[in-house]
Amino acid sequence: MNHPSDLKYASTHEWVRIEGDLVVTGISDHAQDALGDLVYVEAPDVGQYITAGEQAGVVESVKTASDIHAPISGVVVEVNPDLEDDPDFVNDAPYSKGWIYKIKPDNMADVDALLTSEQYEADL
């Protein structure tokens, strides 16, 4: 599995990357692999406040549907428009073209409480 060390991870299989004052998030390589070919991604709405640990969206594959949980609390400022037509970006490139949404976090320090790639892999 591919879990870049420059990212942080939630135990619920979401990843985060800091970009300026925003946090980009998506689902991990492990999660997309377990789900199989994605056919639909439901991201939270722009402007929606999401709370860490709560459901923020859904991904559906040919096998099943799974909740996406918010890794940190904050306001959604952007969703990946490409996933509407090409949800398979999450399968093909989960850490680049497959990002799901961007958050303006309440507290950027909350990212520090998430797992490192080594901790995340040890939990799998």
Instruction: Note the pLDDT tens digit of each residue in 23-61.
Output: 999 999 999 999 999 999 999 999 999 999 999 999 999
DSSP letter at 45?
Answer: P
Number of residues written out for the chain: 124
Instruction: Please report the domains of the chain, with CATH numbers, ordered by start residue.
Output: 8-123 (2.40.50.100)
State the pairing for strand pair 101-105/38-42. unpaired
**Residue 105 in tokens:** 């976090």
- Provide the whole-model pTM: 0.96
* 1, pLDDT greater than 90: no
Percent of the chain whose pLDDT exceeds 90: 97
Q: Give the closest residue to 78 by CA, choosing from 23, 7, 40.
A: 23
Average pLDDT on 78-88 reads 96
Q: Give the number of other CB atoms < 10 A from CB of residue 99.
A: 25
**Residue 121 in tokens:** 């892999």
Quick one: CA dihedral 68, 62, 86, 95, positive or negative? positive
Residue 45, classified by CB atoms within 10 Å of its CB into exposed (0-12), middle (13-18) or buried (19+), is exposed
